[in-house]
Amino acid sequence: MTSLIQVDQLYRFFSSRCAVNNVSFKLERGEILGFLGPNGAGKTTTMQMICGNLAPTEGQVFINGIDILDQPKEAKRELGYLPETPPLYRELTADEYLGYCARLHRLPAKKIATAVGNAKERCGLTEVGRRLIGNLSKGYQQRVGIAQAILHTPAVIILDEPTVGLDPIQIREIRELIRELGREHGIILSTHILPEIQEVCTRVQIIHQGQLVMNDSIERLERNMRALSLLMKTRGTPDLARLYALNGIHSIDALGDNRYRVFHDKEASPASSIAEIAVSFGWGLLELTPEKRSMEEIFIEITRHSPSTEKE
């Protein structure tokens, strides 16, 4: 089966500086790929090359099997794009704007009304078609921006910071819309909001200093978020030597008031063994809780080494 996006050994140099260094990945139908990177990491440059707005120094980009360098018009027909600031005309109604975008996408005149109606229905805009875009809330304006990106039923939808500036209710609505679109399309979601990646995406990749340093499923990421430590609290004073004798325990930090942080191997948690010993020797176990790292901590850990300060 042809991948919706295939990026092969992508490089981009600006003079002698390598902004994107040997980046390769694929996007399949039904996937929502979260694309992360600190400022200056090469994320924007990579996105521009995928969209055909910037030519790579080396490498290839295929959109639904079409080489974007050899057949740019055909490849771009398979793309829908929502930039961080949606390209909206506030003086037009939503219907007028979407009709205009449909003509820009070169949809046949007889299919425009149907395409606009379908996009409005999918994006929850049926009731606001005749309202001026300038009078719509920020959340509805984002919906109009997404509607223009899906008018021509592209295989791939690229969304750049789609929830910036929205209130919590609007954010929830846009995330639900993205999940729904992800069932039929392939989606690349570029965002700095790390919880959004966990809420919406099926896969995440992180670019740092021009190189992909992480490309994994959300399920595996969440497994990695389970830290390699347990918090333990007892009523009495435990015999730490007995804990150290357990397989897989690396170290134990005393936190005061009979509270301890127990560090262990990644492969298996010794929680059940600790509980058995605590009960057997009457330590009075009050708490035994696995600690969990946040996605922010993982992101910082991956990208903290020699951070880039240059602009993309």
pLDDT tens-place string over residues 236-281: 999 999 999 998 898 899 999 999 999 888 777 899 999 999 999 9
Give residue 291's pLDDT.
80
Lowest pLDDT segment from 34-43, 92-101, 133-142, 224-233:
224-233
| Rounded distance between C-alpha atoms, residue 162 and residue 160, angstroms | 6
Total count of residues recorded for the chain: 312
Give residue 280's pLDDT.
94
Closest to 62 in 3D by CA, of 112, 28, 16? 28
User: Does 23 score more than 70 pLDDT?
Assistant: yes
Give residue 196's pLDDT.
87
| Tokens describing residue 266 | 């990644």
Q: What is the DSSP letter of 74?
A: H
- For the chain, what percentages of helix, strand and coil (3-state, to nearest 5) are there? 35, 30, 35
pLDDT tens-place string over residues 31-86: 999 999 888 889 989 999 999 999 999 999 999 999 999 999 999 999 999 988 88
At 261 the three-state DSSP class reads strand
- Kindly state the average pLDDT of the residues 82-104: 94
| Rounded distance between C-alpha atoms, residue 269 and residue 228, angstroms | 8
Q: Is 89 exposed, middle or buried (0-12, 13-18, 19+ CB in 10 A)?
A: middle
Q: Cα–Cα distances in Å, from 182 out to 48, 74, 162, 171, 292? A: 21, 22, 14, 16, 28
* Chain centroid to CA 234: 40
| Rounded distance between C-alpha atoms, residue 27 and residue 185, angstroms | 10
Instruction: Identify the band that residue 95 occupies on the pLDDT scale cut at 50, 70 and 90.
Output: very high
User: Does 164 score more than 90 pLDDT?
Assistant: no
Cα-Cα end-to-end distance for the chain: 34
- Into which CATH architecture does domain 225-296 fall? 2-Layer Sandwich (3.30)
Contacts of 292 by beta carbon, 8 Å cutoff, 6+ apart? 225, 226, 227
Q: Side chain identity at 76, as an amino acid letter?
A: K
* CA dihedral sign of residues 50, 55, 56, 60: positive
Orientation of helix 109-122 relative to helix 168-181, angle to 10°: 130
Edge-to-edge strands, sheet with 32-36: 79-82, 156-160, 186-190, 32-36, 203-208, 211-217
User: Does 297 score more than 90 pLDDT?
Assistant: no
Give residue 277's pLDDT.
94
Mean pLDDT taken over the chain = 90
User: Does 218 score more than 80 pLDDT?
Assistant: yes
In CATH, what number does 5-216 get? 3.40.50.300
Q: Which has the higher per-residue pLDDT, 15 or 228?
A: 15
Give residue 306's pLDDT.
45
Instruction: Identify the band that residue 309 occupies on the pLDDT scale cut at 50, 70 and 90.
Output: very low
* CA dihedral sign of residues 103, 106, 107, 110: positive
Instruction: Identify the band that residue 224 occupies on the pLDDT scale cut at 50, 70 and 90.
Output: low
Q: Is 278 exposed, middle or buried (0-12, 13-18, 19+ CB in 10 A)?
A: buried
Do residues 235 and 45 touch, judged by C-beta distance below 8 A?
no
* Chain centroid to CA 83: 15
User: Does 305 score more than 50 pLDDT?
Assistant: yes
User: Does 200 score more than 90 pLDDT?
Assistant: yes
Do residues 139 and 174 touch, judged by C-beta distance below 8 A?
yes
Give residue 303's pLDDT.
78
Domain regions of the chain by residue span: 5-216, 225-296
User: Does 308 score more than 60 pLDDT?
Assistant: no
